[in-house]
Amino acid sequence: MAHELKTPLAIMRAETEAKKKENLLPEKYAQNIIDEIHQMSEIISQFLDWAELERSQLQKDLHALRMKTVMKSVAARLEKI
């Protein structure tokens, strides 16, 4: 699945970079395209990671945390150091 989803993105990125290098595509547009391709690739990777976790026999007791609380806890521990 990763190959089928990521290969077209890699091709689009390579083509975009080539067009940018040849000045056939304005820098701003090329960078926007590359950024969007990167974002899509990250979403695919995250989905595949989630799917792997769902298939796993490991403990599945996952829950959401408030990052502010986590960061305060980490900062408090590091402050002692």
Note the pTM of the prediction, 2 decimals. Answer: 0.64
Give the list of residues 6+ apart from residue 39 with CB closer than 8 angstroms, or none: none
**How many C-alpha atoms does 44 have within 13 Å on its Cβ side?**
16
* pLDDT in single tens digits along all 81 residues of the chain: 777 888 999 999 999 999 999 999 999 999 999 999 999 999 998 888 888 877 877 666 667 778 888 888 888 888 876
Q: How far apart are CA 45 and CA 48, in angstroms?
A: 5
